[in-house]
Amino acid sequence: MHAFFSSKPIWPSAGLAIVRILTGGFLAYHGGELFDAATMKGYVDWDAFKRFSSPATMVYTGKAMELVMGVLLMLGLLTRIAALGIVITMGYITFFVGHGQVWYSDQHPFLFVLLAILFFCCGPGALSLDALLFSRTKSRN
């Protein structure tokens, strides 16, 4: 019981991995709309994209970013690069496609921004491909 009220982390690697994998999964799921022509056409028709010379390019780029960055985040591969991509994409959605109402209607994309900042600062954790591929041994004998 003492550990429950302690300021020390409880299962930090597992907890970080669970949140990272679920967050990446949600992003990849939304990015999967890239393959649904009717849904993509609906996004292209939004007023927020009509000011661009090629609204379809903006919509397809955003959905591709969600898909690719979500998969990278799930795998814990190039996590900080993925986190930056998520901050840029979801920040744009929050403040330019939406109205920046992070406390109300634009809360969901902004939560992805906050989670991406967390993963940028903390890294992917020990249970990730980044840890497997890029960790250095402490001693080389």
User: How confident is residue 106, by pLDDT bands cut at 50, 70 and 90?
Assistant: confident
Handedness of CA 93, 94, 96, 101 (dihedral sign): positive
CA distance 64 to 67: 5
Alpha helices in 32-76 (DSSP H): 37-44, 47-50, 55-75
Helix (H, G, I), strand (E, B) or coil at 54: coil
The pTM score is 0.89
User: Mean pLDDT across the chain, nearest whole number?
Assistant: 92
Which residue bears the tokens 């992003």?
27
Q: CB count, 10 Å around CB of 10?
A: 9
Which residue bears the tokens 């709309």?
33
pLDDT at 2: 76
pLDDT at 140 over 60: no
For the chain, domain boundaries: 13-134
pLDDT in tens, 30-78: 999 999 999 999 999 998 888 889 999 999 999 999 999 999 999 999 9
